[in-house]
Amino acid sequence: MKFNSFAGMVKFLLKDLPTYDYPVLNSRLFCFIWFTAILDKGINSLRDLFYQLNHGGTRVDLSTFSKANKTRDPQIFMRLYHKLLRYIEQAYPEKKPVLCPFDATVIPLMSKLFWLQGYL
């Protein structure tokens, strides 16, 4: 199975996460909110994110999400990373995949560097 879009990849990653493990903010919704915050360029703050979510039909409070961030086991993101890595290894067995997480500040810095070097 190959993905036609990044949204398809996110659905693949989230589909096996439990939906009834926490009473208010389950693991699937928790990760969906993080993916939305990371991928939507129009979101500049958590308040923007929750305004968009609540007006889009996903009812979650910012305070609930904040408490979940303090208490939720971060291993869930490590499991998602390994799931994606296994998928890539199976989809492209002839290549040696290397996934390197990096901070978002690298993106504008690299963009400026490429522009100065004449690549953009």
Residue type, 19: T
- Pairwise CA distance, residues 117 & 111, whole Å: 10
What sign does the CA torsion over 99, 100, 104, 110 have?
A: negative
User: Could you give the angle at the alpha carbon of 13 between the alpha carbons of 18 and 47, nearest 5°?
Assistant: 80
Look up the pTM and report it: 0.71
How does pLDDT run along the chain (120 residues), one tens digit per residue? 666 777 788 888 899 999 998 888 999 999 988 888 877 778 888 888 999 999 989 889 999 999 998 888 888 888 888 888 888 888 888 887 776 665 555 555 555 566 666 654
What is the predicted pLDDT for the residue at 28? 92
What is the predicted pLDDT for the residue at 26? 92
- Pairwise CA distance, residues 36 & 20, whole Å: 20
What is the predicted pLDDT for the residue at 50? 92
Maximal C-alpha separation, the chain: 52
Instruction: Give the tokens for residue 73.
Output: 């086991």
What is the predicted pLDDT for the residue at 63? 92
